[in-house]
Structure formats: C-alpha cells, structure tokens
Amino acid sequence: MSSLSQRFIQDRFSDYYKQNSALILPPTSIEKREFGFLIFEKRMMLRHRGFREVDGLRSSLSTIVPSDVYYSSAYYESPEEEMKAKGWLGADLIFDIDADHISTPCATLHDLWVCNSCGASGKGGHSQKCPACGGGKFKEKTWPCEVCLEAAKAEAIKLIDVLTDDFGFSTEMLTVAFSGHRGYHVHVESEKIHGLDSIARKEIVDYVMGIGLEAEFHGVGKSVSPERMFSGPDLNARGWRGRVARGTYDFLLTASTEELEKAGLRKGIAKKLVLNREALLESWKENGPWGGFKGLGLETWKKIAQYGVEKQSVKIDTVVTPDINRLIRLSNTLHGKTGLKKLEFSITDLEDFDPLRSAVAFKEGEVTVNVSEAPQFRVEDRIYGPFERQRVELPTAAALMLLCKGVAKVVQ
Ligand SMILES: [Zn+2]
Ligand SMILES: [Zn+2]
C-alpha cells in the first residue's frame, strides 16, 4: 500500500480516537482485563497491556492509534504479566458469528484473492497454485456485503433464542454487537458462567450448533398410536425437540424437488410432496406431518429431520467460544479492515439493525482514490461501485472501506 494511503487511514483513525474518546467505555472490571493493540506499521500485536481505569486506555488509543483494539474475555489477577503468571479468575462466555462460516451464494461475486508473490488476483476461491506465477500463497479479501451481513444476523437471532430459551440466560446478561466487518458478537456476562473451563464451553458450542444431534433421539420414530406409523416432535416443544420440528417445517416449506431427492426421496414422491406441500404443513396444526404422507418411510423422515437440525444449527466460530483467554474487539473501536466501528446495540433492535448505517464512524469529508477492483457496496444510503481501475471521489467512510481492504489508493 502506498504510504500516502497508509498515512490517510492512520490520520482518520487518529482523528477518531481524539474526537471520540468519550465513546470508549471500560469493560466490566477493566483492571482485571488484558488489552491488545494491533499496530499499523508492523502489523504486530502489542499484548499484555493493563489499565486501572478508562482514562489511561483512552489516552493510549489516541497516542498509539492502533488499527484494531482488543481486550480479554478473561479476568486476571495480573493482566500485564505473561500468560502463565496472569492468574486466571474466570471469563465471559463469548460467541463470534462471522459470514466466513456461513455459506452464502454471493461469496463468489465479491470475495477476492491476491497472489502474494506476483499480485495476480481473481474472484471467489483460489486454486492451489497461482495461475500466473505458480505461487501457493494468497491474501483473501472478503467483503461486508448486505446478503452476508443479513445471513450473519439471522444466525445471531437464532443464537440469542437458544441462549435465552434453552439456557435461561436473561437478556440483561447478554450483549450483542456488530463486529465492524462481517458479523456479530454475543457475550454472556454472569458469575454463573465465569468459572467454566474450555471443555464445558465446547459442550455449549456443540449444543448451540446441534453437533452430534440425531433426530431419532428427539422424538422422530415409530408411533405408539395405532392410527399413525410414525411420530415426531411438536413445533412448540422445548429445546432441541421443538427446534427439530421447526427446522423440519422450514425445510418442507421451501425445499425443491431436487433438495428432497437429495434427502433420499424418490423423484415421484418428492414431486408429490411439493404439490401437496400446503396440506402437509397444514397437518402440523394437528400432530405434525410425521408419518402422515404415503410413501415416506421412517428412514426418510429421519433424514428430513436431519435437514431440519441443519436449519436450526447456529453457525458460530467453533474456536472462539472454548478459548478462555481470547482477545476480543473492544466496542466503539474501529475495525482495521473496514474503518467501521464495532457497535453494541439493544437485543430488541436486532431484527432491524442496519450495520452499514449505524456503524459508520466518519460522516465528513471526501477523498479521491484510484480503485483497482471492488464489488458494489453500500454505506449509509448510498450505493457505490462496482469499480474496476477507476478514479473516483468518495465520502471518507466509503473510501476507507476500499483503502482498508487494500483495493484503492489515495490520489496525490
Ligand atoms: Zn502469482
Ligand atoms: Zn455476500
């Protein structure tokens, strides 16, 4: 990246931390948290920082001007010591939802790879070797696209449902935040979960994702009633039983003949099911469709229910939650890949939350940039691009999105 572009990004980040230091709020028990700053110049992490109060943190941000700011999910006796000597006291329970872990149809349209050795680039996933130079190392550039962000939000909604309904966490214990890039973070802060070790947290991951869950142990099986061959869980049942039912309902509501065939239905039966979809879903008001459809055996119902499990499974980053020493982005700090803020908001606003409006940190100024390649994107109300080898004048926030991604350069 040209030093002019680098300078521009750092100057804007510097403005932000000088003008908005009051927005930087201390996490609970700030004196027990470790802080980490990713440094622009060297792409190096300054770790093991600690602060007694928020003022020290605020002034560090405006002098260091990091590209990314993190704090520990854990509480330590001595957060500034090296890992072994910190004295772990407990940790919040954290969940990271990132569009990278959700398969969206648009990834091939907006994701780019760039060859580390020759700079060749292309869309979607890259092959093993660079087609231009044969090199094997690539930078991947993902994009905070609207479709991906909506997909991540849908996962956050599912997650909060599981955490409140199945685990019984009150909404006061939960915070939800936009990550500043392609996802959402959900935190649980409560004495009840502080002491959980990594294995216990992994169990929670498995539950939330429905890993190893088999529908036949959740009510899908032979019926005891003489009128029906099979039975299955009720839509309103608690826990995963209800989720299996609701996921199956959703699957049957939208599945195409091809998808049903993939689930193991013979073509004729799949077609018949699609034709009779409404009646089948209607039957759910009584006692569900289980066994209420000629030609579908128990094994097929189990497979269909497994698709239901898949629909209800929450796609979280499986590495983050079990890590009891994780550093996580601090709210109201800037994301080095976008220039957007990580932003906490009320759970009741989740459905309507618009990250590309609410998380915009820069509202003033314009700058002319040379864009190499960028997909279409939105910032606030305006749509930009797609761009290919173009010089454009853009508002600061839109320009930063491209500059931080390394697909544009500031024009002298
Ligand atoms: Zn190459
Ligand atoms: Zn997308």
Q: At what angle do helices 396-405 and 3-19 cross, to 10 degrees?
A: 130
Round to whole Å and give the CA distance between 370 and 2: 11
Q: Is the pTM of this model over 0.85?
A: yes
pLDDT of residue 76: 98
Q: Which ligand is nearest to the CA of 377?
A: 2
pLDDT of residue 222: 84
Residue 381: band (very low, low, confident or very high) from pLDDT cuts 50, 70, 90: very high
Q: pLDDT over 90 for what percent of the chain?
A: 74
Comparing C-alpha atoms, which of 107, 61, 2 is closest to residue 334? 61
Q: How far is the CA of 317 from the centre of ligand 2 (A)?
A: 18
Q: How far is the CA of 146 from the centre of ligand 2 (A)?
A: 6
CA distances from 149 to 101, 146, 159, 236, 352 (A): 12, 5, 15, 29, 12
Please report where in the chains the tokens 């060859």 appear, as a residue: 115
Q: Are 187 and 91 in contact (CB under 8 A)?
A: no
Q: How far is the CA of 118 from the centre of ligand 1 (A)?
A: 4
Q: Which ligand is nearest to the CA of 148?
A: 2
Q: Which residues lie across from 409 on neighbouring strands?
A: 370
pLDDT tens-digit map of 133-158: 999 998 888 899 999 999 999 999 99
Cis preceding-peptide flag for 386 (omega within 30 of 0)? yes
Residue 1: band (very low, low, confident or very high) from pLDDT cuts 50, 70, 90: low
Q: How far is the CA of 154 from the centre of ligand 2 (A)?
A: 14
Give the tokens for residue 157: 């909604």
Q: Dump the DSSP string for 300-365.
A: HHHHHHHHHHHHHS----TTTTT-TT-EEEPTTSBPTTTSPBPEEE-GGGTTT--HHHHT----S-
Round to whole Å and give the CA distance between 70 and 64: 13
pLDDT surpassing 90 at residue 11:
yes
Q: What's the 3-state SS for 360-386? A: CCCCCCEEEEEEEEECCEEECCEEECC
pLDDT of residue 17: 98
Q: Which ligand is nearest to the CA of 103?
A: 2
Q: How far is the CA of 131 from the centre of ligand 1 (A)?
A: 7
pLDDT tens-digit map of 281-309: 887 777 677 766 777 888 888 889 999 99
Q: Which ligand is nearest to the CA of 113?
A: 1
Residue 103: band (very low, low, confident or very high) from pLDDT cuts 50, 70, 90: confident
**What is the CA angle 66-319-76, rounded to 5?**
60
pLDDT surpassing 70 at residue 412:
yes
Round to whole Å and give the CA distance between 23 and 235: 43
pLDDT of residue 291: 66
Mean pLDDT on 325-341: 98
Q: Which residues contact 165 (CB under 8 A, 6 or more apart)?
A: 238, 239
Round to whole Å and give the CA distance between 341 and 12: 13
Give the tokens for residue 335: 């994301």
Kindly report which listed range (55-64, 111-120, 175-184, 204-213) carries the lowest average pLDDT score.
111-120
Q: Which ligand is nearest to the CA of 151?
A: 2
Q: pLDDT over 70 for what percent of the chain?
A: 99
Q: How far is the CA of 112 from the centre of ligand 1 (A)?
A: 14
Mean pLDDT on 377-401: 96
Residue 97: band (very low, low, confident or very high) from pLDDT cuts 50, 70, 90: very high
Q: Return the number of other C-beta atoms located less than 10 Å from residue 33's C-beta.
A: 24
Q: Which ligand is nearest to the CA of 137?
A: 1
pLDDT of residue 280: 82
pLDDT surpassing 90 at residue 128:
no
Q: What is the pLDDT of the chain when averaged over all its residues?
A: 93
Q: Is 292 helix (H, G, I), strand (E, B) or coil?
A: coil
Round to whole Å and give the CA distance between 349 and 333: 21
Round to whole Å and give the CA distance between 90 and 186: 17
